[in-house]
Amino acid sequence: MGFGPFLRLEELTPDVALIQALKERWDPVCQAFLFPWEHMVPTLEDVVRITGLRVDGQAVTGTTYTSYQEPVERLLELEVRGERSSLVGRTALQASLGIASARHRTGEGQAEYLVRLTEDARAVLAEEEGEAADRDLRRFLILVIGKLILGTRGDPVGCRCLPLLEDLSSVGNYAWGAALLAHLFDSLGTSSRETGVAGFFPLLQVWAYYHLPSLRRGVARRRGAVPLLQRWQFCRDERSLRRQVTLIHDAMDTIPFGHWTPYVGEDDATQPWVERGRPYIGRDIWLHCFNTVVPLHHRLVARTLGLHQAVVEFPTRQRSWERPGRSFRGIQQVTDWTVRVREQLDDWERRGKEVVSEAASDEDYYRAYARRYGAQVYRGTRRPLDPEGWIASLEGVLHSTIQQRDDLQAVVDQLRGELERAQQMVGGASSSREDPDRSVLEGQLAAAAARAEDALAQLREREQELRTALARTTALEMEMAELRLRPEAAEVARWRQKAEAAAHWQQEAAEATRWRQEA
């Protein structure tokens, strides 16, 4: 079924501080992390290399139902939590697998723990093939998928994917790794006040260990092991959570531009799942996990493919289809997602769109990125003191202000249009005395238009102030650069004089030595 490498993964202690710091850098609009230097995005290549899960094949999608009571009772012989729910109790599910007490005991080693767990499971699970064995296998897969791959924060286990497990011979055809990434993206988009993520957090940790090694949050423990999650363990930190998060943000704010570490030198011969998923790697593509359908904007990280990063149109909140709210989990109504998101599903089946770049350098992208995100990318307590950082921040604030001004200008124009239409209706149909409701409407529109124009005037003043500050800061940067050059030039002239004097005295010493020898 393709779960072999994933099921061989060992326990990894969660680095809550690192996950929280990364979550606070996540931009749900472009589905990417925003750092001071550039976008960074976990990709399908990261998923397949780190977890070994399949990222090619059929999308994990289908129909979500108002209740899963019938398939759960028929396929798992368990009860659903609530009449309209897709959740089963974790404790009951573990008990049905013979691992109800699946926790280490005090002083118990890893080998002893596995022996005890195996003995408990063998006493419950069916040993011969048949309906009982298929039931036990589905229970196990629901536990793995519902608590690890598509995990939730609560104790219950989701079984939206149970219809895909009815035919066990087809389970291995689905792209479970792509579904894991879609679910993780969706979880990262929750409020930053919610600590942690609901998805498979070890992917984020090991991704950061490889791509942000200067953070020093992971320790390599086993070279050459695959999947790559087998090679790392969490570096424990005894400081408080908030202190750790602050220090991680400070470190992220000081990582230099161009810092990126793709998987160079990896032996793909030992990772056949990487070669199998290569047709889907390095492409802009829609990721599917039932009602969670999110874009993977690989074009924002074209340099992971060995390309120069070109200036691209940064994603916005506009989307070609309407998705239900975050609380929607397929239990309000029966929804066939193969029909609801047919266009995005066709994109997956076409393997998305190949990422290409004709850029000769990354400089244009860096400038566009600074203008777009300069005001929001710094999260640490320390801010870069170089003038270029100030300029980037001012350009970012100015860009945001201009966008707000344009949006507000559109609102003012709309209100003025409505007011003019209301005045024409009042003047053409009846007087204000004959129709007081229209008079009230006209007054409300006039007041709203006046407030919007006042706000627009304030934004224009703010824009002018920012432009003045930007010009002043740019001029200051040029003066500082010139001042930095002046001492360097004076220093060079002084050392040149000393070198000439040293050469002169060296020549005099040579003459004195020659005269001494002759004497």
pLDDT, tens digit (0-9, with 9 covering 90-100), for 191-202: 666 666 788 999
Identify the residue with better confidence: 485 or 335. 335
Which structure tokens are listed for 289? 């996990």
Residue 458: pLDDT over 60: yes
Q: Number of H helices and number of E strands within the chain?
A: 16, 12
Out of 70-84, 181-195, 196-210, least confident range = 181-195
Band of the pLDDT at 176, cuts 50, 70, 90? very high
Global pTM reads 0.74
Average pLDDT over residues 145-164: 89
What own/partner pairs with CB < 8 Å and gap ≥ 24 does 82-89 have?
84/331, 85/331, 86/158, 86/159, 86/160, 86/329, 86/330, 86/331, 87/154, 87/156, 87/157, 87/158, 87/159, 88/142, 88/156, 88/157, 88/159, 89/155, 89/156, 89/157
Supply the pLDDT for residue 328.
40
Question: To the nearest whole number, what is the mean pLDDT of the chain?
Answer: 83
Band of the pLDDT at 189, cuts 50, 70, 90? confident
Supply the pLDDT for residue 319.
52
Helix, strand, coil shares of the chain as percentages rounded to 5?
Answer: 55, 5, 35
Amino acid at 299: R
Supply the pLDDT for residue 325.
44
Band of the pLDDT at 354, cuts 50, 70, 90? very high
Out of 121-125, 204-208, 279-283, 467-471, least confident range = 467-471
Average pLDDT over residues 286-293: 93
- CA 265 from chain centre, in angstroms, equals 25
Residue by residue, DSSP assigns 269-288 as GG-HHHHHHGGGTTEEEEEE
Average pLDDT over residues 308-325: 68
Band of the pLDDT at 372, cuts 50, 70, 90? confident
Which residues in 142-177 are b (16+ Cβ under 10 Å) and which e?
bbbbbbbbbbbeeebbbbbbbebbeeeeebeebbbb
Place of tokens 């003043």: 461
Single out the residue of 37, 40, 4, 7 nearest to residue 22, CA to CA. 40
User: Using CA atoms, how far apart are residues 263 and 281, in angstroms rounded to an integer?
Assistant: 13
Identify the residue with better confidence: 12 or 242. 242
Q: Quick one: DSSP state of residue 261?
A: -
3-state secondary structure of 234: strand
Query: Kind of pairing, strands 39-40 and 26-27?
Result: unpaired
Band of the pLDDT at 329, cuts 50, 70, 90? very low
Alpha-helix residue ranges (DSSP H) falling in 226-377: 241-253, 272-277, 337-340, 342-349, 363-373
Residue by residue, DSSP assigns 490-502 as HHHHHHHHHHHHH
- The domain limits of the chain are 3-305, 387-423+442-485
